[in-house]
């Protein structure tokens, strides 16, 4: 058997991890983060929210069910690099047409296996998300450490412009792409054929495809707009509501979106997810801050303060809304992460505006919060009834 080449992961605190290379032969820098999901590595890699990040998986073996094109959350992997304990030597899945090594190699993403991912995760948890360098090339520890330390970091950086769409389009106009991803006959696969179809202007800050699929299934015509679309661009398509998607980077840096959403909030029902939630926070005049190591995984408990219900949610974010200044800007904190009491949801006191920090579409993760897409539809229906 051919021996695998060496790879290196260097962190800004001076720690260096040597392992075996897979994926592409290259050197990358980014923020070292960890994800606690047991499955869903393909969805994680292709989630644009991971742009600029080197992701460590805490699950011990990754890659055993291969790569399934239909499960991509965007048009290829967006994470900067991938760190795992063991790459599965076999792929067993009738839907798979490739393996993880070939997938990353094809898209120029490096991976490292055979490292102590528990030690890496603990280091990030204790010290916070760290600047890092991952290389599958022949470089020294000193070179890798220097590259890690030279990387400017995520704070103040607008990564949305790197992953947003280049032009407006309608998502899945014939509905064919929104029928393929759940088992026929299950509740999750049912479409809302009995409902009125509402047109939603969906801002693509780095949106996952599964979000658009769920909007489509729940009775929406999804008109996708680039992140830099103006309020006039939105009004031109005559939507019934506005949706703000997830995305990467520092929400405070996406100032053009703050201004646009601020102009739209008085006129339309608005629903935001993840970065969209943070954009709403800024549009209302409140602020966000960087978390020590973020929330990334499919097991984050969230409590709804209005119903008392607790959801297990999928989350992927490194910034959070500042609870202290939300209320004075007209917002109510509706949900809290039970792990650290950070804001997980908000609504406006007077306007039809709400948002969540987590991912109701999951992919990967639990479906506890899938009902929020229906809640968005209901909010629009109520708003139209009141204004007609």
Give the integer Cα–Cα distance in Å for 111 and 266: 46
Contacts of 193 (CB under 8 A, 6+ apart): none
Q: Partners of 174 in the beta sheet? A: none
Domain span at 355: 160-387
Q: Cβ distance 173 to 65 under 8 Å? A: no
The pairing of strands 81-83 and 53-57 is: parallel
191 annotated active-site: no
Q: Which of 150, 181, 203 is the last residue of a domain?
A: 150
pLDDT digits (tens, 9 = 90+) for 360-373: 998 888 888 889 99
The pairing of strands 288-304 and 310-321 is: antiparallel
361 annotated active-site: yes
Are 314 and 192 part of one and the same domain?
Answer: yes
pLDDT digits (tens, 9 = 90+) for 225-263: 999 999 999 999 999 999 999 999 999 999 999 999 999
Give the integer Cα–Cα distance in Å for 207 and 198: 19
Whether residue 286 lies inside any domain: the answer is yes
Are 186 and 145 part of one and the same domain?
Answer: no
- Number of separate domains in the chain: 2
Backbone conformation region of residue 165, classed left if phi is above 0, alpha if psi is from -120 to 50, else beta? beta
pLDDT at 137: 98
For the cut 80, the answer to whether the pLDDT of residue 191 exceeds it is: no
What value does the mean pLDDT of the chain take? 94
Are 181 and 256 part of one and the same domain?
Answer: yes
Whether residue 51 lies inside any domain: the answer is yes
Are 230 and 356 part of one and the same domain?
Answer: yes
Are 57 and 184 part of one and the same domain?
Answer: no
| Model confidence band, residue 4 (pLDDT cutoffs 50, 70, 90) | confident
Are 264 and 348 part of one and the same domain?
Answer: yes
Are 227 and 126 part of one and the same domain?
Answer: no
Q: Which one of the listed residues 218, 258, 277, 359 is annotated catalytic?
A: 359
Whether residue 95 lies inside any domain: the answer is yes
274 annotated active-site: yes
* SS3 (DSSP) at 261: helix
Are 84 and 210 part of one and the same domain?
Answer: no
Contacts of 108 (CB under 8 A, 6+ apart): 24, 26
Are 356 and 252 part of one and the same domain?
Answer: yes
Whether residue 155 lies inside any domain: the answer is no
Are 100 and 182 part of one and the same domain?
Answer: no
CATH number of the domain at 370, please: 3.40.50.880
Q: Which one of the listed residues 12, 43, 221, 361 is annotated catalytic?
A: 361
Q: Which one of the listed residues 113, 218, 274, 295 is annotated catalytic?
A: 274
CATH number of the domain at 41, please: 3.50.30.20
pLDDT digits (tens, 9 = 90+) for 5-61: 999 999 999 999 999 999 999 999 999 999 999 999 999 999 999 999 999 999 999
Tokens standing for residue 382? 């109520």
* SS3 (DSSP) at 124: helix
What is the rounded average pLDDT of the residues 123-133? 97
H-run or E-run covering 383: helix 371-387
- Angle, CA of 333, 336 and 342, to the nearest 5°: 95
Are 12 and 30 part of one and the same domain?
Answer: yes
Are 189 and 308 part of one and the same domain?
Answer: yes
pLDDT at 2: 62
């Amino acid at each position: 058997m051919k021996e695998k080449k060496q790879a290196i992961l260097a962190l800004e605190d001076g720690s260096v991890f040597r392992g075996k290379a897979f994926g592409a032969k290259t050197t990358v820098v980014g923020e070292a983060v960890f994800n606690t999901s047991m499955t869903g590595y393909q969805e994680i890699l292709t989630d644009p929210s991971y742009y600029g990040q080197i992701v460590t998986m805490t699950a011990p073996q990754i890659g055993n069910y291969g790569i399934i094109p239909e499960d991509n959350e965007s048009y290829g992997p967006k994470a900067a690099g991938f760190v795992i304990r063991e790459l599965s030597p076999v792929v067993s899945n009738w839907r798979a047409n490739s393996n993880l090594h070939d997938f990353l190699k094809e898209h120029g993403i490096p991976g490292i296996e055979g490292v102590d991912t528990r030690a890496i995760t603990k280091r990030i948890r204790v010290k916070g998300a760290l600047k890092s360098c991952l290389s599958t090339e022949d470089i020294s520890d000193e070179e890798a450490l220097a590259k890690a330390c030279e990387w400017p970091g995520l704070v103040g950086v607008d990564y949305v412009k790197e992953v947003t769409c280049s032009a407006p389009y309608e998502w899945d106009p014939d509905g064919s792409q929104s029928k393929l991803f759940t088992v026929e006959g299950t509740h999750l696969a049912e479409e809302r054929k009995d409902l009125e179809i509402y047109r939603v202007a969906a801002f693509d800050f780095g949106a996952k495809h599964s979000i658009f699929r769920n909007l489509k299934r729940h009775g929406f015509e999804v008109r996708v707009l680039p992140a830099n679309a103006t309020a006039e661009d939105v009004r031109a398509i005559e939507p019934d509501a506005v949706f703000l998607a997830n995305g990467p980077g520092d929400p405070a840096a996406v100032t053009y979106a703050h201004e646009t959403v601020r102009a739209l909030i008085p006129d339309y029902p608005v629903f935001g997810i993840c970065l969209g939630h943070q954009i709403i926070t800024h549009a209302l005049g409140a602020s966000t801050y960087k978390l020590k190591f973020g929330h990334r995984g499919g097991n984050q408990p969230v409590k709804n303060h209005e119903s008392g219900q607790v959801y297990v949610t999928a989350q992927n974010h490194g910034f959070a809304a500042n609870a202290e200044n939300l209320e004075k800007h007209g917002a109510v904190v509706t949900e809290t992460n039970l792990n650290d009491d950070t804001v997980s949801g908000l609504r406006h006191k007077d306007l039809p505006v709400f948002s969540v920090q987590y991912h109701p579409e999951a992919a990967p993760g639990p479906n506890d919060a899938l009902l929020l897409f229906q809640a968005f539809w209901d909010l629009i229906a109520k708003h139209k009834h009141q204004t007609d």
